[in-house]
Structures are given as structure tokens and as C-alpha cells.
Structure 1
């Protein structure tokens, strides 16, 4: 009979609306200023004069942040509009996701839905609630909630995984072990799957030695599998003890488990991060000898590290080696190869990979592929080709651009002086065509570029837009803009910028 683990380890107690802002950018030739933001909402519906508002938005609007779970419950229970909504598992999942960082609202809404006579929570909703409480460090409430689930026979292995990971993440790894010890009381078994969950939880939180101690206690009762040893290989590498990781490969063989590509690739990644490519090449050869040849993920990992180390000749050699083995390239492989070719200045070769080799092998580009190509073309002053690629993204509809897609193009506008024409068009496309929101990096890029282009009025309008959207500008951006507006005698603007700088 298996003895409880906590008897062998240190004993501890188990504690256990947003508005949608779409800014319309418009720079006129006369003023070169940014238009004031236009608020737009995709919500519709009855009630408050907004048409077609979706159910989850109605529920969120009724909840006030900071109130207690009981107040949230009472607020929803006593609201006729909320109680007229037809509940579904999908609706509650969306509602809990909205409250993933607000445990009081999440728990109040969860209890309200459970009180409805026409609704019963799914296992997923219970697990999500456990995860939210754990994430927000509400360990006592998570313990109470888990006890309710236990009484209702609602605990699954997925529930236990979330509980153990939140406890270990909060530094309470002994409590995670106690949960494992009590598995049978939840109607679950201590087997290879549940043991691996515990070991993986501990190793990911760098408690590898503790995980090893537990494994030695359990292995006579529970048979390990290849995944068990891969957990330890990853864990030892994470705490920079690669010798133990390599020894674990030998231990695997002793238990009749064959090392997999994952086993070797984890150690290869360790050496890649330290640019120890001699060890990397030795391991690649060993994999072949052991009848466990590298896969596309292994080769891509090595290529990316070689590219970071600017060893571009070796990147191409690894790419050729991979193709020679018959290993089929995938999207991430090509993204890495294109990036390396661009950094090496081999623009035409990168274009050939994108336009010829990828279609030939049936690999479709994703947003990252386009981002890489556009950045490379802009860096090499081929702005028109970059714009053509951006247009292709819209026409082919394989993938959609993101704000980062536009960064190189925005920068090139300032380099080429195409501010009144191309810059205005790009900003309009970002906001109105693709409905993207500018982030802090995009605002900083634009403000710096406009200041250097002597467009401080437009730059200041962007600064005001940031403040309205609660995006905090960095000190360098504020300092640069402040100097520019002072030089233009824009004293009111200078005062507001100085006020913002005091809050940084």
C-alpha cells in the first residue's frame, strides 16, 4: 500500500467593459494634424438605446468592479434583463473569460448562473472558476470551491492539474503534493498520468529536486513512461543542470523507455541558448546513431540560434542537411530561414524561398512570414515591394496583418518623407480597414518620427490620443515631444506633457 507523500516530506496545511475606441487618423496637407478620435461601438441591442447588444456584454455591464461576490450575485439575481437571458455553456465560458482577472465578479456570476433553475454548469466552467481563484491567489476560496466540487463528484483530473499548478506557482509546492495524496478522495486514481501531472507541475516551477525525491518514492508503485523522463529532462535543463538531463536519457533506457525526439531536442535547445554549437552538432549525430533522427522542430531550433549568433553559412548548411534527410519543411522552418537570409543580406534568396519554394512544398505563409518579408524589404529600401506584399495579404486572405506588420512601413515613411500621403493612408488602413488598435510601441514610433519631421502638432495630437486611451507614454517619448512643443511655443501642450511626466 502506498504511503502518503506528505509523511515523507515536510508537512504543511493545504490552503488550499471595455469600450471599443476606433481612432480615425486623418492628416490634412494644410495642418498635418491628427483628427480627434471617433468613438464607435460594435454593440447593439435594446435597453439603453444601443441596438443588438450581445448577452455577455449586458451581463458584464451590470457588474461593477471591486464589489464583493455577494453583491455581484444580488445585482444579477435582482435584474430582470439579466434573468431574461437564456444561459448556455458557451455564454458562461465567455463571461468567465471576461472576468479572468476579477475573481469577485467571476464567482458572483458563477453563483448567479448556478441559481438559475434552467441551467447547470459544465465541468469546464467549474475548472475555469478554480483556475481564476488560484490565479488571483485566493487559495482558501479555491480550497472551499474544490471541496464543493468534491461533494458534487465534479472533480476531474483536469481540475486537479489546475489546482496543483496554481499552488506550485504560488510557492506552495508541498500543498500540491498533498492534493495528489488525496486523489482517491476525489474519486481519482494515482497512476502514471496523475503522477506525471504532479512531476510536471513541480519541474515547471523549478522544484526539480523535490520532484525527483517524489518520483523515487512512487516509482515502485507507479510505472513511469517516456513522458515521465522527458519531464525531468526539461526540468534539469530549466535549472541549468544539463548533466542530469543527459543522465536521465540513460535512465530512460534502463526503464525500457526509448528516448524520443523531444528528449534530445530539449537538451539541444539548452546548448543552443548558450551558443554551444559543438555540443549541438554532437547531439544531432547521436540522434541519428540512436535511430531517433531530428525532426523539423529540432532543425528549426538550431537554425534560429545560429541566425542569432550570425552564423549564416551554418544556417544554410543545417537547412540543406534537413532537406537531405527527407524531413519536410513547415511554416516555422521557412520563417526562420527567411529571417536568416534577410539578416545575411541575401534578399533575392529570401524572396525566392517565399515566392517559389514555399508554394512548391505546399506551405502557406502566416502573418509572421509576411512581417519578416516586409521588414526585410523596408530595411533594404524596397518599400514598393513591401507595400505590394501588404496588399497581397488583403487580397489573398490567407492571414491578416497586425499592428507590428506596419512598423517597418511606418518607419520607411519618415525615411522617404512620404508623410502627408503614404503615412496617412497606412494609418487609415490600420484603424478603419483592419480595425487594429495602435499600441504603445506604435505611438512612440509615430511621435518620434513626426517630431524629427518637424510635425510636432500632429505628434502632440497622437500623444493626447494615447492619454485618452490610458496608454502610458515612456519618458524618452515625453522628453522629445516636450522639447519640440516648447520650440514651437505650444505652452498648453508643454504643460500637459510635463503633467504626464510627473506620473511616470
Structure 2
């Protein structure tokens, strides 16, 4: 028999209150346009237009700041909302839309639950629990969990979310209480559930508390290798690497062999502190003990060496990796290309990208192209970067994103190719690839266009940002304001000044 942990640990436990809920809900991914001197369109980030009208209708009826009961009544009394056909997909998208607004989420959830013939999915219940916990509505989250318990809807996934939200809110004792009550939810206390609790506590830096709990449980629940890897990560997270190294020895005492994850976690700790002597010692120890480093280990080390500007050491790793019989993957090559770019080895990078990667059968992804485009633009090889973008579009291995275009936009502004190339690139982004600019890209364009004496276009982009609820940086507003005033664009200046007063 496993005795309740609260009998052994210092803590003040909560008691569940009677349920006050009856529930359900939805979510959506926003749309965006781009102010251009060319035709533009509106798309989601993924290019999908799913349930937009229905979601927008519901969202338009919800007033931010209202109580969940006020929102419930508003939606229940709205004929247009009640004519919408509900689906689990629609409700879950709506919940995602309100992930940072628990009142709207809960009100809409209750409204959906009140609709005849509609029953929420377990996914929607779990999402609602997570929203309440993330917004620190812990009492409501407990009430909601009790409601789910009464309806036999609690799953291991539900418990995982509740534990993590309690621990994240600094209430680690309540996370332990949930573990103690697992059997009342029809769930088992076993290695998997114990690991969930320990992992939850360690990720929130309650490693000592997790260790005390483990010592109480290990005679009843057998640990596995993952249990010890949780502690290795936890000790490293709170800068106690000696305990992490000792844990590797403890693993062997429980007949669990340290794996590549065990060592790689400690290697990452030393990488973050630029202690590469320890890193190399651990790499040698892994090989000596028959636990060869994997591609993730080598990628971590290379990235850290590159960050520390120890480029020659970093560029020796592919040979060491080959000697160890470890096959590179796309992420490794992305790191290698980035390192070569920082080291100024552009020709070598092109050779790796064009010859070595195809030879070993490793396909590039969007990040690979982003790295190459940025490198070529940085070294004033704009035409080569444009050719690479064209190859990316033709091969259709992966799709460009805003970050792919960012260096090219910057290069256009720097070289003055605004009316020709810049317009084409922006048009391709919006109309060919259905991309929406982020705040970094907008800021780059507005600043660049102002420097190029094109403040009218810059102001159009400023208005576009505002319409999409993207708040410009203060320095962007200041620069644009000075430029439009210099051009005697008084209406634009007045609007910019009015917006700045609201910041």
C-alpha cells in the first residue's frame, strides 16, 4: 500500500469545493493583410480558412472583461450565435483563441455546453483546465476538475495539466495532493504517474522536494531510467551538477543503465558555461563506456562552440562525429552551416549545402534555406540568395516563411532596389506564399523606407500594423512622425501622434 504523501511531507492541502460548472467551448487562428503598392490578400498563417465566419461571429459578441456568466447570457440570448452548428473542432479552435482570456473562454465553454445535443470533447475539457491554470485561476481549476471527476472525464492528460499548473503557480504541495488522489479519479499510481509528478516538480526547480518524494515512493514504485534522467535534468537546472553526476552512479545501483540522454544533459550544462574541457571529458567517457554520443549531442556542442566563437573547434566536430559512426541529420547541418557562415567560410557552406547534403541523403528544411539566404545576403551575394529562394520554390521540399525573406528585404533597402525587387518580394510573400509580416519585418521596412525618402509607403505599412493589432515600437513611431512632418503630411502626423499618446 502506498501511503498518502501529505502524511509524510510538510504541506497545507486544499479541499475540493462543490462543483459549480456545467461546461464547453472553441478557438481560431487570426488573419492578416499587408499594405503594398500591389494586390494583397488575407490568409491565416497556415493558409487555411477554417470556420472563420462562425468564430468571428461568436468573438464579436464577447466583450472583454465581462464575467463568464455575463458572456454566457450574452451568447445564449443571441439568435445569430445560436444558429451556428457546433463541432468539436470549432469549439477547440475558439478555446485556443481565448487561451489568454479565461472569462471569455469559460463563458463560451458554458454556452456551448448549454446547446441542445452538443457534448464537449475531452480535449476541450482539458484545454479549459489548462487555460484556468495558466491564468492562475486555481480555485476555478479545482472546481472544474471536480466537475470532470463527476462526469468520469479525468484522464492522465488532465492530471498532467493540473499538476503542472499547480507547480508553475508555486503550489507544489497541491500537485503532490493530486498525485495522492489519483486512485479516486480511476487512475493508477505507477512508474509513469510518479515520473510525471517528479518531472513536474523538477521543471519548476522543486528538485529537493521531488527527491524527498522519490525516497518515500521508491520502495512501492520501481523507478526506471527516465526517473533518473528527470533528476539529472533537474539538478542541472538548479546548477547542482555534482548531484547530477552522482545520479548517474545511482542509476546503476538500481539496475538502470545511463543512456545518451543522461550524459547529454550534463554536457549541455557545461556547454552553457563554456566549460569545454569538461565537455570533451564527458564525450570521451561516453565512448569508453559504450554509450556513444548521438547527433543531438554533437549538435549541442557545435552550437555552443559557435556561440563562444570557437569556430575552428566547432568545425572539427563533423570529423569526430564521422569517426564515432554517427550519421548527421538536417538539424546538425543547419548548425554546421550557421557556424560556417559566422566563421566567414561561405564557399565551404555552399559546398556542404549543394554537394555533401545531397550525397549523404539529408534533405534541407526551411531553416536550412533561411540560414543560407541570410549568409549570402550578409556577404553581399544577393543574386545567389535570390536563386536559392527560386530553387526552394521550384523543388517544393519545404516552404519559405517570413524569416526566409527578412535578409532579402534588408538587402533591397540597403542597395536601393525598392521599386523593382522589394515590391516583387513583398508581392510574392503575400500573394504567392500567403505570409503575413511580423513586427520585426514591419519595423525593418518602415525604417528602411523612411531612410529611402519613401515615407508615404512607410506610413501605409504603419496603418497596416495598427489594423492588425501589431503595436509598433516607440522608435518606429518617432522616426515615421519626423519623416511625415518633413513632408508636410499633417493628417498622417496627427494620426501617429494620437496613437503614440495611447502607448
Q: How does 1:377-396 map to 2 (within 5 A)?
A: 377-396=376-395
Are the structure 2 counterparts of residues 72 and 230 from structure 1 closer, same or farther at C-alpha, using a change threshold of 3 Å? same
Task: Give the corresponding residue for 2:275.
Answer: 276
8 A contact 2:446–2:480 mirrored in 1: yes
* Post-superposition offset of 1:272: 0.7
Where does 1:245-324 land on structure 2 (aligned, <5 Å)?
A: 245-324=244-323
Within 5 Å, give how 1:42-191 maps onto structure 2: 55-191=54-190
What stretches of structure 2 of length at least 5 have no aligned partner?
17-27, 45-49
Q: Given the alignment of the two structures, is residue 25 of structure 1 paired with residue 36 of structure 2, yes or no?
A: yes
Matched, 1:398 2:409: no
Tell me the CA shift for residue 320 of structure 1: 1.2
Q: Any unmatched runs of 5+ in structure 1?
A: 27-34, 43-50
Q: Counterpart in 2 of 1:8? A: 8
Note the C-alpha offset of 1:10: 2.4
Please state how far the C-alpha of 1:78 moved relative to its aligned partner. Answer: 4.2
In structure 2, the CA distance between the partners of 1:500 and 1:78, relative to structure 1 (3 Å rule), is closer
RMSD of aligned C-alpha atoms? 2.5
- Per the alignment, residue 347 of structure 1 pairs with 346
Q: Provide the TM-score with structure 2 as the length reference.
A: 0.90
SS at match of 2:413: helix
Structure showing greater relative contact order (alpha-carbon pairs closer than 8 Å, 6 or more residues apart): 2
CA distance 1:9–1:280, shift in 2 (3 Å)? same
Counterpart residue number, 1:456? 455
Whether the 8 Å CA contact 2:40–2:427 is kept in 1: the answer is: no
Give the alignment of 1:183-262 within 5 angstroms.
183-262=182-261
Query: Do the aligned residues in 2 keep the contact of 1:15 with 1:140 (CA within 8 Å)?
Result: no
2:361 maps to 362
Question: SS of 1:398's equivalent?
Answer: coil
2:51 and 2:174 map into 1 onto residues whose CA distance is: 47
In structure 2, the CA distance between the partners of 1:15 and 1:412, relative to structure 1 (3 Å rule), is farther
Counterpart Cα distance in 2 of 1:175 and 1:327:
44
* Distance apart, 1:18 and its partner CA: 7.9
Cα deviation, 1:373-426, whole Å, max 9, x if unaligned, reads 000011111101111111222222222211111111111112222111111111
Partner SS for 1:473:
coil
3-state SS, counterpart of residue 363 of structure 1: coil
Contact 1:447 1:460 in 2 (8 A): yes
State the SS of the aligned residue for 1:338. helix
**What residue in structure 1 maps to residue 21 of structure 2?**
none
Q: Over residues 120-176 of structure 1, what are the superposed CA-to-partner deviations in whole Å (9 max), with x where a residue is unaligned?
A: 333222211211111111111111111112222221111111101001111111111
1:339-375 Cα deviation digits (max 9, x unpaired): 1111111111111111122222222211111110000
Q: Give the equivalent residue in structure 1 for 2:328.
A: 329
Contact 1:22 1:435 in 2 (8 A): no
Cα deviation for residue 96 of structure 1 reads 2.0
Q: How far is 1:437 from its partner? A: 1.6
- Counterparts in 2 of 1:85 and 1:475: CA distance versus 1, 3 Å: closer
Structure-to-structure mapping, 1:355-504, within 5 angstroms: 355-504=354-503
Counterpart-to-counterpart distance in 2, 1:8 and 1:240: 27
Number of residue equivalences? 488
Cα separation, 2, equivalents of 1:403 and 1:256: 49
SS at match of 1:174: helix
